[in-house]
Structure 1
Amino acid sequence: MTLSRSAFLQLAGAALVAAPAAAQTGPRMQTRKIPSTGEALPIVGCGTWQTFDVGPSAAEREPRAEVLKVLFEAGGSVIDSSPMYGKSEGVVGDLLAAAGTRDKAFLATKVWTQGRNPGIAQMKESMRLLRTERIDLMQIHNLVDWKAHLPTLKAWKAEGRIRLIGITHYTEAMHAELESVLRQGGFDFVQVNYALDDRGIERSLLRFCQDNGIAVLINQPFGGGGLLRKLSARKLPDWAGEIGCTSWAQILLKFVLAQPAVTCVIPGTGKPEHMRDNVQAGLGAYPDDRLRQRMIDTVGV
């Protein structure tokens, strides 16, 4: 019988749930440096698109609070959100305030609107919702009106309202434009799509970022979710143990993290058991070129 990811993780993670003290004292995930600052950033974070867009009830909030707790206990810090993500910014802000863990979080959000003044208003609202006076990473979402927003972001960085500046997209068709915008200068980060079945970033953009000192956040590392769902019905390959993987999610995350130019991967989840699984990809060995090719051949993409 083949278990789904959720069923497998409920069994495999039972010991962790029963022994939270061990989770606090266990190994902490690896870090990679942000090129523009030299700051060490944990390599597995948490995205909040859809997964944190929930109401105020305890039934909805408590699992998300546990997700953040698991992330922090594993040594992670990156939480990525956006005004585009419904209630997610407010939920994150409320949970961090309630737990007193704002200082553990590397908060990344986005400006996603047309025009300089609407952008300023939106970013101020994001700060209010996130309950913080400073955003660690403010990103221009999906390239929207980037020429209007970039001067504001540079000014806010100089003033200390934000620490780092980024720009994002989620489709391969926009990689060339992303690279063109990054050539204008002023960006510390790019956030972009990359997965075992979505490898367009390897053609040019990843090398450009590595050569030009731009940190890389990866969204959609599970192929938008479709790839992970497809693989969940398959037995783990024998080589999974070579890199310490006990789930397909870990395999997919380690495939992405095998690229040294990738600074952090931000799989989205609102489920503690999935977060416990994801953070394990921040530990141990990563595939070399030979094993990466074997991964591609195994999955058949």
Structure 2
Amino acid sequence: MTTETITAHAAGTWDLGDLSVNRLGFGAMRLTGSAAFHHGVPSRRDRSIAVLRTAVELGVNHIDTAAFYFSALRSANELINTALSPYADDLVIATKVGPHREYDGEWGTAARPDQLRGHVEENLRQLGRDHLDLVYLRRMRQDSIAEHFGALAELREAGLVRHLGISAVRPHHLAEARAIAPVVAVQNRYALDRPSPEADALLRLCGEAGIAFVPFYAVAGDAGEHGATDAHDAEVLAVARAHGVTPAQIRLAWTLAQGPHVLAIPGTGNPDHLRENVAAGAVRLTEEELGRLNAVRAQGS
């Protein structure tokens, strides 16, 4: 399968409220290091900027980031601002607030509801924008998100935020948030080889409500923040051979096949991997192949 001319348009589109995005997007976390945050060595700054610009040239118009995505050398938001500002009208930048991280990289306690405006304003400053397209409340183990989500809903009413989402949540949190303000996206961990009845329930609930479901670590699997896994089941390898693509591309294709409301945000600092990730949006798995891959997932339950 050639990756030369395939763009993110091949994955199809989904509407985040009034914002249409291609379902194959880009996660900016790994631009700050070879693993996550302050772990690993980031790519050269000029290479990271080139990756972002190439992503947009390939039709990516949904970028996921956060002010707390930084290392000793790199800030994801600063890289995005440098590479892509002035921003294209159709570019949707999603960010997250909730976790508190010191400038030395250490994690603090979860932000209080009254601190979330400062988090939003910091993202605005770093990205050079006067409003944020989509802001997720990243839950930090609290049982109720009502007070925090309510604070973000006020910022939406004030015009600082266009749309709201929630991340790292359970099904009851979705109901709690929707009773306060519209939710356009849920971002949770979800991967082929990481079965989770709770994640499956959220996937279904989002589909029924017309809400985007945005998996993170879809390519990483159990490797999580440390990067793309190299542990692939024999069925994944066999399907990849049949399509002439990489196992990572099959994992992304399977992710997108879970529903028209599912968006993928694979991240990389490698231009070749970027093109492969985007090209995964053109992979069409047969019902038989999906059945074999779903069986792999079921076996891990």
Same fold (TM over 0.5): yes
More helix by share: 1
Seen in structure 2, the aligned counterparts of structure 1 residues 273 and 149 have a Cα distance that, compared at 3 Å, is: same
Seen in structure 2, the aligned counterparts of structure 1 residues 27 and 135 have a Cα distance that, compared at 3 Å, is: closer
Correspondence 1:48-197 to 2 at 5 A:
48-53=28-33, 60-87=44-71, 90-100=75-85, 102-103=87-88, 105-112=91-98, 113-143=110-140, 146-169=145-168, 174-186=169-181, 187-197=183-193
Which residue does 1:211 correspond to in 2? 208
Residues 145-178 of structure 1: CA distance to partner in whole angstroms, max 9, x if unpaired? 7333323322332333221100101xxxx53444
| CA distance, structure 2, for counterparts of residue 108 and residue 262 of structure 1 | 16
1:221 corresponds to 2:214: no
| CA distance, structure 2, for counterparts of residue 50 and residue 94 of structure 1 | 12
| CA distance, structure 2, for counterparts of residue 59 and residue 298 of structure 1 | 34
Which residue does 2:276 correspond to in 1? 277
| CA distance, structure 1, for counterparts of residue 79 and residue 70 of structure 2 | 14
Task: Tell me if the contact between 2:31 and 2:268 (Cα under 8 Å) persists in the aligned partners.
Answer: yes
Following superposition, the deviation at residue 95 of structure 1 comes to: 4.1
Candidates 26, 36, 47, aligned match of 2:27: 47
| CA distance, structure 2, for counterparts of residue 58 and residue 221 of structure 1 | 21
**Structure 1 letter corresponding to 2:23:** I
| CA distance, structure 1, for counterparts of residue 209 and residue 69 of structure 2 | 30
> Number of residues paired by the alignment?
273
When structure 1 is superposed on structure 2, of 248-257 and 216-225 the one drifting more is 216-225
Residues 83-123 of structure 1: CA distance to partner in whole angstroms, max 9, x if unpaired? 33225994433443344452253111111142233111121
| CA distance, structure 2, for counterparts of residue 264 and residue 249 of structure 1 | 16
| CA distance, structure 2, for counterparts of residue 252 and residue 27 of structure 1 | 16
Q: Give aligned-pair identity as a percent.
A: 23
Following superposition, the deviation at residue 195 of structure 1 comes to: 0.9
| CA distance, structure 1, for counterparts of residue 27 and residue 222 of structure 2 | 12
Which residue does 1:3 correspond to in 2? none
Task: Tell me if the contact between 1:165 and 1:188 (Cα under 8 Å) persists in the aligned partners.
Answer: yes
Following superposition, the deviation at residue 229 of structure 1 comes to: 1.2
Following superposition, the deviation at residue 297 of structure 1 comes to: 4.5
Over aligned residues, Cα RMSD in angstroms?
A: 3.4
**Structure 2 letter corresponding to 1:132:** R
Following superposition, the deviation at residue 275 of structure 1 comes to: 1.0
TM-score relative to the length of structure 1: 0.76
Stretches of structure 1 lacking an aligned partner (at least 5 in a row): 1-11, 17-21
Task: Tell me if the contact between 1:191 and 1:219 (Cα under 8 Å) persists in the aligned partners.
Answer: yes
Seen in structure 2, the aligned counterparts of structure 1 residues 294 and 59 have a Cα distance that, compared at 3 Å, is: closer
Stretches of structure 2 lacking an aligned partner (at least 5 in a row): 99-109
Which residue does 1:294 correspond to in 2? 292
Secondary structure in 2 matching 1:266: coil
**Structure 2 letter corresponding to 1:111:** V
Following superposition, the deviation at residue 263 of structure 1 comes to: 3.2
